Structure 1
Amino acid sequence: MQQSLGASGITVSTLAEARVFADHGFDDITWAFPVVLSRVDEAMDLAERVTLRLVVDSLDTLRRLQSTGYPFHVWIKIDCGYHRAGVDPTGEVALKLAHELSESPTLTFDGILTHSGHSYQARGRNALKQVAEEERRTMVEFSERLNRDGAIDVSSISVGSTPALSCVEHLHGVTEVRPGNYALYDHNQTVIGSCSVADCAVTVLSSVVSSQPGMGHCVIDAGALALSKDPGPGDAQPRTMGEIFDDYSSGILQRDFRVTSVSQEHGTVNNPMSVGARVRILPNHSCLAVAQFDEFHVVRGDSILDRWRIWRRR
């Protein structure tokens, strides 16, 4: 659907995902994960079929790519405040990395890329707007620094996280956005403030399989291998392993029923329901939940319109 509207590039987490998208017509793919050195040969093979863009944040990795002699396309990953991966844009390593890459006789310097993962710690749209602006400003200022201090032209600036881009006010100076989980959303995103419950597109439909008298809870057939074990934001109250819909068509959740714990196949709901009752769950983390299944059931109301295969290769 997005290709038909003009989308040409895609971001992936793994080379397996990249191969799936390459097989289905995408020819501009960013592997937005620091290069795994033991998989460089795989990356080289795929780059023979499509434009594959790699991400580096260390001189060691850059030099390993350079040593292959292969004309890889390469982004430099910048730390814009998340402090997980990426080089410090105010430090000397970032300048040296940019110099070596821009002067490489074989590698192509595609630009600078970042992920505002610290947006997941923000709460509310105003706080998310601030993170989005911090991300944008950090990247634009680093680009200007490279041009000023190193005479290096940065042709592309790529930013992205689901919360930040759900609330961003402007993107002056940015050339590419990677908006993450905007197509599906989940309960985590509603807590953060990225979206409303009605915006969420993925649910897990389960059934009550056990409800013992006097126990005060029931058991459903959706455990960790359906919902994952992502506990959601640490400040979410009450704590939940998945919210339960009261009225799915209206985006209304139950006030008193939720999934409170999961084991491998079992899920526990904090109040009793009749055996056989259907329970529609809004997962905490739809990326992890979807990865447990082989297909989407595409629904409108009570009708299944289509089934879409989920390619779960690693």
Structure 2
Amino acid sequence: MWESVELREIRVFLALAEELHFGRAAEKLGLTQSRVSQSLRQLEGKVGGQLLHRTSRRVSLTPLGERFRERVGGAYRQLAEALQASPDTGGTLRLGTFEPCSAGPHLNAIIARFEAAHPDCEVQVSEISHGTDPLDALRRGEVRLLAIRLPLVAADLAVGPVLTREPRVLAVARTHPLAARASVTLEDVADYRVTECFGVPRSIMRAFVPAATAGGRPLQRIPNSPVKPYEVASLVARGKVVHPTVPSFDDFFGQPEITYRPLTDLPPLESALVSRRDDPDPRVAGFLRVAAEVLSVS
């Protein structure tokens, strides 16, 4: 089954062989320990043997693991260097968006300038399905760039440039008691129910909908989180929840029954382009340079 071995699995193994510690390897790779363990098991199944001894106290290479590291370590580095040096700038560059409003108003201008400078390369934009981890699509190479809300902390990912920076608002039904206010605070929000959106990375969801107010009052969450943003908009329009968000939510998911009030005690939210730090594709670096140029004068 060696034909099905993936570079990602070799990268995980080499990190484990170097660190001999699942926690440190996971931190180095920007993955969870369970994902590291899963990748190792998949690799061991494909090479047909155990590569590491694992106990509660220590991790060590098996004889097969030692031989495998000697054989693939140098080859992996050479392949990574060859990919890094590749002059290919053609083909398709895939860019994912986790929600339309995270892309911001300048993405089309960025794409147009990049494609003008790289006429053999087409940028393909696709929306990452909600209910799945968008960072997985980036790490697996299904997309090479991702437009997503911040904050985002992952050692293996590079964040920037920033695409948008928006103030905070509260989406409420026009018939809701808070709709009569000129502005609201998170303390006001704590009197009503809110919802998260299933599948959104936790750091981003907590920036949108904190666990509690500054005074320590927990926000009341409905028991079943919806998956799609338009499902959140439907709950808001029917008065089932109120939703801390940003003004561009209305551009894509708003409904006539929803109104927005300034939310004064939450900081603005940003979105940015995110890429893998170890991505050898020169088109990624080129796209990020063009994005920085366009955004600097926007």
**TM-score (norm: length of structure 2):** 0.26
More helix by share: 2
Bigger relative contact order, structure 1 or 2 (CA pairs below 8 A, ≥6 apart):
2
More strand by share: 1
**TM-score (norm: length of structure 1):** 0.25
